Amino acid sequence: MPSVIKYYEGIDSVAVIGNHLPRQCGIATFTTDLVKGLSAEAPDVYCWAIAMNDKPEGYPYPDTVRFEINQNNLTDDSVASQFLNINQTDIVCLQHEYGLFGGPAGSHLLKLLGDLRMPVVTTLHTVLKDPTPEYRAVMCKLSDLSDKLVVMSSKASDFLKDIYAVPEDKIVFIHHGIPDTPFIDPSFYKDKFGVEGRKVLLTFGLLSPNKGIENVLQVLPAVIKKHPDVVYIILGATHPHILKSHGDAYRIMLQQLVHKLNIGEHVIFQNRFVELQELCEFLGIADIYITPYLEEAQITSGTLAYAMGTGKAVISTPYWYATEMLAEDRGRIVPFHNLDAMAEQNIDLLDNDVDRHAMRKKAYLFSRDAVWREVSRKYLQVFREVQLNRTRNPRPRHSYVEKIRAITSFELPEIKLDHLKALTDDTGILQHANYTIPDRTHGYCTDDNARALLVSAMGQTYLPTSGLGLDSFSGHYLGFLLYAYNEETGRFRNFMTYSRQWMEEIGSEDAHGRALWCLGKSVAFLQNPGHLAMSTTLFKKALRALEDVHFPRAIAFSLVGIHAYLYRFSGDSDVRRIREVLAEGLFNQFKNNETDDWPWLEDTLNYANGKLPHALLLSGQWMQRGDMIDMGLRSLKWLLTIQTEKGHFVPIGSNGWYEKGGHRARFDQQPIEANAMVEACVEAFNVTRDKSWFDNAVMCFNWYLGHNDLNMPLYDPKTGGCRDGLMADGINQNDGAESSLAWLLSLMTLQKLYADEILNQSASHKPD
């Protein structure tokens, strides 16, 4: 077969990295079909898959999947690259979607690719037009590490060249693959589905609120009036991540709308994820296929490609991919949210059989280049091209890889939220636990619910597709804070009994400061519009009380929250003014009390000490105050000096603290001290780029894992919780909320630090 061999001669094995069936996801379907297509077109090439898992237990994959990666565990990426290198895979074909990979903006992926020795061909399923700096950086580094970038639309190619400065010769267009089905009359299968003699409108795909199906339902009465035999089939299960985080709210809303419009006899919900053969049969019965998406930012659509490939007349809103694919009368485009236009086009196509069938034929003929046989051949051509180019022009990556290895030589544990969930009920998170069992005796506090809100907000950024339900949990914690805020006093109450009775009308200044800290940082992370609006409103209300707050730790916590808030809303002049007043006051306390041997603002070292220099470092950067930065670095370095012994972190014990000129308490060492120091050292590294601060952050973090006075870990890997303290006689075995949240905040902080440094190091590497 010389006509086939020329496409892949010299290639013995191809590994495709992506999702894989039975995981319910469009990219899982694409990856599965691509592996099948490559295997069919090149039967003597070993084609197999690496599957990204969004849950630790994975899925019951077929033998085609030879390796699995937990997307939230950076270690798995490193092991996967070793596995590929050891097996001497010739080509890696990566399916890229930001949410498939762990770390901020999916940056864990860069670690995997940086270690690979073979050529990488990356298929881009999303190309953002207006990326945030983090997403832009990941795409640029992904381009550097890929030998070719495959796009499925001309618009994607334009974006890569114009927005990301990707060289044109690195970009190749290949259609989204589709099954090769015959061009049949829509009536052929209608009796099988009980819609014989009816005109069928169809939308299929995993349901989520951005699909716009409600708009089709709203135009149906007008269509039915002209064509009483119309039926609209909505085929697809709710997206698994939507189902876990929001339940089936979208489908229920659609069903209620059907009832309200009294069109129940004209709408059929098929709430399931169907296999390919049945999907093609469903597509076969459709007279009109509708993609009513609500936003233009969709660079490809497998559902639209499938519909065109089965010869459907298509009506679509003008998202990018549809505008390109349906040009030249291959479909009808209607403006976003224009119900009249959608109704008009449906009626017109149902009225005019000749026009509808001509459109069907154009779409079908156009799609012949997109059947998997042709697509697979084009991929094999690209694989051969990059293999030959790599042979002729080797691309050394050792310097880049060594830098990444230096950063990630200490592997971080996976983020595990079992204990957080166990401590949380419908009121909020409980304060204490007996061992790992929630202790309801002491009820709740604002401090812990504020920290829990921050953990859930950060987790939604670092675990964007994990399906862990963090959006609903953040709603619980935010609701607690809303109730804790006393409108009359302008302050947060802190302690609540299990019977939901407040124990005071005004909590401590520290409780107020910690609430502001977590609200401000949550504003920087939250994506849910309602949660973001409520966090912002509550944060702004609670700021007013700061004019009566004097405790330095309350001020420091507030400043850290303010800086995070201003990261998102930098133009808020009122908050900027408050920051200047608070930062100047905190700085003056340091300046007025420090001595050469005691560079501190008080004569006692007690709790959350690292948060004070942390606040100075942030304020000094944003206010362009070098003296504040110097004070922050000097005091933080002193804290490290007196809290480091034999290479491990020894926090000031809470059983007596440390008075100037006195003896420091060795125990009870608290997890919140390690958290405050981890975050402060990370900020010092951000300011100075001095790697010693990076190492100090890791050292303080290692206190949780057993690098401490007793060589005993406080982290519980079974539950994801953390013990309550290091005592003279051992570990306090209770896993309370404060300790477990301090651990999770520390872990997420280092996860982000690692991801940021992978991005920074890959930015400094320019392949030859």
| Percent helix / strand / coil, the chain, rounded to 5 | 55, 15, 35
Would you say residue 468 has pLDDT above 70?
no
The CA-atom distances, in angstroms, between 366 and each of 6, 510, 614 are 26, 66, 60
Name the least confident of 41-50, 392-401, 531-540, 706-715: 392-401
Cβ proximity of 41 and 4 under 8 Å: yes
Give the pLDDT score at 577: 94
C-beta of residue 605 within 8 angstroms of C-beta of residue 657? yes
User: Is a pLDDT exceeding 70 seen at residue 400?
Assistant: no
Contact call for residues 604 and 593 (beta carbons, < 8 A): no
Q: Is residue 315 part of a domain?
A: yes
> To which residue do tokens 């001020």 refer?
555
- Asked whether the beta carbons of 282 and 299 are under 8 A apart, the reply is no
- φ, ψ (nearest 5 deg) of residue 655: -90, 60
Both 391 and 443 in one domain: the answer is no
pLDDT for residue 245: 66
Examine the fold and report which residue of 384, 406, 428 is the final residue of a domain before the chain moves on. Answer: 406
CB 268 within 8 A of CB 233: yes
Would 449 be classed as within a structural domain?
yes
DSSP alpha helix (H) spans, 227-351: 240-246, 249-261, 276-285, 302-309, 320-325, 339-351
Tokens 């073979």 belong to residue: 118
Residue 465 has pLDDT above 80, yes or no: no
238 found inside a domain: yes
CB 528 within 8 A of CB 461: no
Angstrom distance (rounded) from CA 688 to CA 695: 13
325 shares its domain with 444: no
Mean pLDDT of the chain: 90
Residue 762 lies in a domain: no
The pLDDT-based confidence of 238 (bands split at 50, 70, 90) is confident
Q: Do 95 and 207 fall into the same domain?
A: no
Mean pLDDT of 164-168: 95
In a domain, 766, yes or no: no
Stronger pLDDT, 208 or 648, i.e. the higher one: 648
Q: Is 527 exposed, middle or buried (0-12, 13-18, 19+ CB in 10 A)?
A: exposed
CA dist 254 → 21, 339, 391 (Å): 27, 16, 55
pLDDT at 767 over 50: no
266: domain CATH number? 3.40.50.2000
Token pair of 324 as six digits = 């390109």
My answer on whether 485 and 365 are in the same domain is no
Residue 688, domain member (yes or no): yes
Distances (CA, A) of 343 to 205, 234, 480: 22, 17, 46
**Domain check: are 350 and 386 in the same one?**
no
**CA angle 759–760–763, rounded 5-degree value:** 85
Listing DSSP states for 670-734 in one string gives -HHHHHHHHHHHHHHHHHH--HHHHHHHHHHHHTTTT-STT----EETTTTEE-SEEETTEEE--
Q: Are 432 and 422 in contact (CB under 8 A)?
A: no
Query: How many other CB atoms sit within 10 Å of the CB of residue 291?
Result: 25
What stretches of 393-465 show up as alpha helix (H) in DSSP? 398-408, 418-423, 446-462
pLDDT for position 761 = 64
Do 396 and 446 reside in the same domain of the chain?
no
- Strands (DSSP E) found in 309-393: 313-316, 332-333
Taking residues 412-439, report their average pLDDT: 92
Residue that has been written with the tokens 């698994």 in this structure: 240
β-bridge pairing 313-316 and 288-291: parallel
pLDDT at residue 410, as a whole number: 61
Percentage of the chain exceeding pLDDT 90: 72
Coil/strand/helix, residue 297:
coil
Same domain flag for 399 and 457? no
The per-residue b/e assignment along 337-375, b for 16 or more CB within 10 angstroms, e otherwise, is eeeebbbbbbbebbeeeeebbebbebbbebbeebbbebb
Q: Looking at residue 762, what is its pLDDT?
A: 54
What single-letter amino acid sits at 447? D
Amino acid making up residue 463 = L
* 289 SS3 class: strand
Span 215-220, average pLDDT: 96
**Per-residue pLDDT reduced to its tens digit, 251-290:** 899 999 999 999 999 999 998 887 878 888 888 899 999 9
Q: Which tops the pLDDT comparison, 72 or 48?
A: 48
CA dihedral 199, 203, 209, 214 (to 10 degrees): -10
**Percentage of the chain surpassing pLDDT 70?**
94
Find how far residue 677's CA is from the centre of its chain.
26
Q: Which residues pair with 15 in a beta bridge?
A: 48, 92
Residues ≥6 apart with Cβ < 8 Å to 656: 664, 665
How remote is the C-alpha of 293 from its chain's centroid?
22
Residue 760 lies in a domain: no
If asked whether residues 417 and 550 sit together in one domain, one would say yes
Let me know: does 316 contact 349? Beta carbons within 8 Å. Answer: no
pLDDT at 155 over 60: yes
Residues 656 and 685 in one domain: yes
Answer yes or no: is pLDDT of 248 > 90: no
Q: What is the dihedral of CA 92, 95, 96, 99, to 10 degrees?
A: -120
Backbone angles phi, psi at 399, to 5 degrees: -65, -40
Instruction: Answer whether residue 72 shows pLDDT above 80.
Output: no
Nearest in space to 36 (alpha carbons), one of 26, 48, 27? 48
Residues spanned by the domain of 290: 190-369
137 and 245 inside one domain: no
Show the tokens assigned to 477: 């914690």
Strands 648-649, 644-645: pairing is antiparallel
- 183 in a domain, yes or no? no
What is the band of 482 on the pLDDT scale with cuts at 50, 70, 90?
A: very high
Q: Which residues pair with 291 in a beta bridge?
A: 316
Examine the domain organization and report whether 173 and 257 are in the same domain.
no
Element (H, E) at 644: strand 644-645
Q: Which neighbouring-strand residues pair with 315?
A: 290, 332
Q: Is a pLDDT exceeding 70 seen at residue 395?
A: no
Coil, strand, or helix at residue 660?
coil
b or e along 475-491 (b: 16 or more beta carbons within 10 Å of the residue's beta carbon)? bbbbbbbebbbbeeebb
Mean pLDDT confidence for 388-404? 62
In the predicted structure, residue 3 carries a pLDDT above the cut 70: no
Where a domain ends, among 406, 429, 461? 406
pLDDT in tens, 573-582: 999 999 999 9
pLDDT of 2 > 50? The answer is: no
Rounded to an integer, what distance in angstroms lies between the CA atom of residue 305 and that of residue 299? Answer: 12
Of the chain, the end-to-end C-alpha distance in Å amounts to: 36
Q: Note whether 178 and 312 are within 8 A (CB).
A: no
Q: Give me the pLDDT at residue 1, please.
A: 39
CATH of the domain at 581: 1.50.10.10
Per-residue pLDDT of 483-504, as tens digits, reads: 999 999 999 999 999 999 999 9
Q: 10 Å Cβ neighbour count for 727?
A: 16
In this predicted model, what pLDDT tens digit does every residue of 532-569 receive, in sequence order?
A: 999 999 999 999 999 889 999 999 999 999 999 998 89
- Domain count along the chain: 3
Same domain, residue pair 365 and 444:
no
pLDDT of residue 444: 97
**Structure confidence at residue 188 as a pLDDT band (50, 70, 90):** confident
Going edge to edge, which strands form the sheet with 13-18?
A: 65-70, 46-53, 13-18, 91-96, 120-124, 148-151, 171-173
Nearest 5 degrees, angle CA 330-CA 333-CA 339? Answer: 145
Q: What are phi and psi of 299, to 5 degrees?
A: -90, -15
The closest of 25, 72, 62 to 240, measured between CA atoms, is 25
- 368 SS3 class: helix
